[in-house]
Amino acid sequence: MQRQDRWCFAWFASRPTARGAERAALVKGSKWTSGDTITASFLDGATVVQDRVREVAERWTAPGLANLTLDFRDDPDTMIRISFKYRGSWSVIGTSCKQAKDGEPTMNYGWLRPESTDDDLRRVVLHEFGHALGLIHEHQNPVGGIKWNREAVIASLSGPPNNWSLEVIERNMFEPYQKQEVNATELDPKSIMMYPIPASWTLDGFTADLNADLSAKDKIFVHGEYA
């Protein structure tokens, strides 16, 4: 497994009030409406990196995928606000960005630089914009849930370079979304929304790579949700 310190966190800027709308492979309570225009802007960062992020992000809305428009503007008063100056990689989920405090970032790319490789940039940008469209982490998909080797996962993530607390590990690794609350395909190890998972972390040898592009199922799923 590579780059263990480069994990993504995603959350709701304002959690949906109805439990049945809280959790889904694409979160129902934070889903955009097909045909929506989603405004986005950069709060900081090098222009060359901004241009690369914009180009990759728009792959989610290419013909045959999500029927949405990403409208990047030179104006911080937008729905998605992107920064590069905070630690880590993260995004709020879906339409909950509308409830974020004015002027604060809703998405961050803490390790992207002008010298970042195309693979590294594509991987993280597609992942975070997946969250921005309402998608959750694939390993929390309960359809064909992962059989975790809990002791191995805890031992790995509680030490360096991650140093996660048991609470963070429980919430981000072992807490699946409920089947009755999801709209999901079967678990997709090739999804851009999947964490890299070594075989030693599971009881049945399940593994997932550090995926760098949209999978076939990602494309079919997002098209179906935003046709």
Q: Is residue 21 part of a domain?
A: yes
Largest CA distance in the chain: 49
Can you say how many angstroms the Cα of residue 188 is from the centroid of all Cα atoms in its chain? 14
Q: Say how many domains are in the chain.
A: 1
Q: Is residue 154 part of a domain?
A: yes
Pick left, alpha or beta for residue 2 (phi over 0 → left; psi -120 to 50 → alpha; otherwise beta).
beta
Residue in this structure with the two tokens 């921005």, named with its chain if needed? 132
* Range of weakest confidence among 55-64, 73-82, 146-155, 180-189: 180-189
Is pLDDT of 149 > 70? yes
Asked if residues 26 and 225 have their Cβ atoms less than 8 Å apart, the reply is yes
Q: Is residue 175 part of a domain?
A: yes
Mean local confidence (pLDDT), 182-186: 67
* Range of weakest confidence among 126-130, 141-145, 221-225: 141-145
Range of the domain at 202: 8-225
Token output for 41: 């802007």
| Residue 25: predicted pLDDT | 64
Q: Is residue 197 part of a domain?
A: yes
Confidence grade of residue 181 (pLDDT, cut at 50, 70, 90): low
Q: Is residue 156 part of a domain?
A: yes
Kindly report the CATH number assigned to the domain that includes residue 149: 3.40.390.10
Which contacts of 14-20 are long-range, i.e. CB under 8 A and separated by 24 or more positions?
Answer: 14/96, 14/99, 15/96, 16/96, 19/181, 20/180, 20/181
**Dist CA 101 CA 217 (whole Å):** 34
| Residue 163: predicted pLDDT | 86
Q: Is residue 190 part of a domain?
A: yes
Is pLDDT of 13 > 60? no
The answer to whether the pTM exceeds 0.85 is yes
Q: Is residue 126 part of a domain?
A: yes
Confidence grade of residue 7 (pLDDT, cut at 50, 70, 90): low
| Residue 9: predicted pLDDT | 54
**Dist CA 64 CA 66 (whole Å):** 7
Q: Is residue 3 part of a domain?
A: no
